[in-house]
Amino acid sequence: MAEIRNYTMNFGPQHPAAHGVLRLVLEMDGETVVRADPHIGLLHRATEKLAESKPFNQTIGYLDRLDYMSMMCNEHAYVRAIEELLGIEPPPRAQYIRTMYDEITRFSNHLLWIASCGLDLGAMSMFIYAFREREMIMDMYEAVSGARMHAAYYRPGGVYRDLPDQMPQYNESPWTKGKKLKRKNEWREGSLLDFIEAFAKDVPHKIDEYETLLTDNRIWKQRTVNIGVVSPERAVQMGFSGVMLRGSGVEWDLRKKQPYAMYDQVDFDVPVGVNGDCYDRYLVRVEEMRQSARIILQCVDWLRQNPGHVMLKNFKVIPPTREEMKDDMEALIHHFKLFTEGYCVPAGETYAAIEAPKGEFGCYLVSDGANKPFRVHFRAPGFAHLSGIDELAQGHMLADTVAIISTLDLVFGEVDR
Amino acid sequence: MSDTPKEVAENFGNRFGDRVSVGVTQSGILTLEIGHEYWLEVCRALRDEEEFSFEQLTDLCGVDYLSHGLSEWDTEGASSEGFSRGVEGLGPGRFDWADRPESSQIERRFGVVAHLLSFRHNRRIRIRCFAPDDDLPIVASLVEIWNSANWYEREAFDLFGVIFEGHPDLRRIMTDYGFTGHPFRKDFPLIGNVAIRYDLEKKRVIYEPVEIESRVLVPRVIRTDSRYKTDDLDLAADQKAAQIAAEEPAGNPKAD
Per-residue pLDDT reduced to its tens digit, A7-46: 888 887 877 777 778 888 888 888 889 889 999 888 899 9
- Summarize the confidence of residues A73-96 as an average pLDDT: 90
The mean per-residue pLDDT over the stretch A221-226 comes to 90
The whole-number pLDDT of residue B256 equals 40
**Cβ B71–A349 below 8 Å, yes or no?**
no
Q: Give the pLDDT mean for B228-256.
A: 56
CA distance A398 to A82: 44
B 8-67 → A contacts, CB under 8 A: 25-27, 29, 31, 55-59, 61, 63-64
**Looking at the partner chain, which of B71, B218, B224 has a beta carbon nearest the beta carbon of A54?**
B218
In degrees rounded to 5, what are phi and psi of residue A238?
-85, 5
Q: Flag if B151 and A384 touch (Cβ within 8 Å).
A: yes
How does residue B2 score in pLDDT terms, banded at 50, 70 and 90?
very low
pLDDT, averaged across chain B: 76
Residue B19 has pLDDT above 90, yes or no: no
pLDDT reading at B122 higher than 50:
yes
| Residue A387 pLDDT exceeds 70 | yes
Please give the Cα distance from B15 to B30 (Å, whole number).
15
Whole-number pLDDT of residue B154 = 92
ipTM for the assembly: 0.88
Percent of chain B's residues with pLDDT above 70: 68
| Per-residue model confidence as pLDDT tens digits over B75-85 | 655 555 555 55
How far is A11 from A19, CA to CA, in rounded Å? 11
**Looking at the predicted structure, is the pLDDT value of residue B255 above 60?**
no
Q: How confident is the model at residue B66 (pLDDT cuts 50, 70, 90)?
A: confident
Q: In B, which residues are within 8 Å of A257 by CB distance? A: 122
Determine the distance from the C-alpha atom of residue B69 to the mean position of all C-alpha atoms in its chain, rounded to a whole number: 13
- Asked if A87 lies within 8 A of B115 by C-beta distance, the reply is no
- Rg, chain B, Cα only: 23
Q: Is the dihedral of CA A250, A417, B112, A366 positive or negative?
A: negative
Residue B1: per-residue pLDDT: 44
What pLDDT score was predicted for residue B222? 80
* Closest Cβ–Cβ partner in B27, B152, B217 for A351: B27
| Per-residue pLDDT reduced to its tens digit, A234-257 | 999 999 999 999 999 898 999 988
Question: Chain A contact for B2, CB < 8 A?
Answer: no
Distance CA A370, CA A367 (A): 7
**pTM to 2 decimal places:** 0.86
Least confident interval from A82-86, A355-359, B8-12 = B8-12
B112 in A contact zone (CB under 8 Å): no
Q: Report the pLDDT value the prediction gives residue B106, as an integer from 0 to 100.
A: 57
Average confidence (pLDDT) over A302-330: 86
CA distance B112 to chain A (A): 12
% chain B with pLDDT above 90: 16
Contacts of B5 (CB under 8 A, 6+ apart): B24, B28, B30
Contact A238 B94 (CB under 8 A): no
Across the interface, whether the CB atoms of B122 and A258 are under 8 A apart is answered yes
The model's confidence at residue B253, banded by pLDDT at 50, 70 and 90, is very low
Q: What is the mean pLDDT of residues A330-340?
A: 87
Nearest to A187 by CA among A206, A207, A168, A162: A168
**Helix crossing, A92-120 with A278-305: angle to 10°?**
150
Q: If you average pLDDT over residues A397-407, what whole number do you get? A: 89
Cβ atoms within 10 A of the Cβ of A325, count?
17
Higher pLDDT, B49 or B204: B204
With an 8 Å Cβ cutoff, are A344 and B233 in contact? no
CA distances, A206 to each of A130, A182, A186, A209, A289 (Å):
9, 20, 17, 5, 11
pLDDT at position B229 is 52
Mean pLDDT of A332-342: 87
φ, ψ of residue A15 to 5 degrees: the values are -140, 130
Give the C-alpha distances (Å, rounded to integers) separating B155 from A57, A336, B61, B149, B164.
26, 39, 8, 10, 11
Q: Which of residues 123-152 of B touch A (CB under 8 A)?
A: 124, 126, 146-148, 150-152
B207 pLDDT exceeds 70?
yes
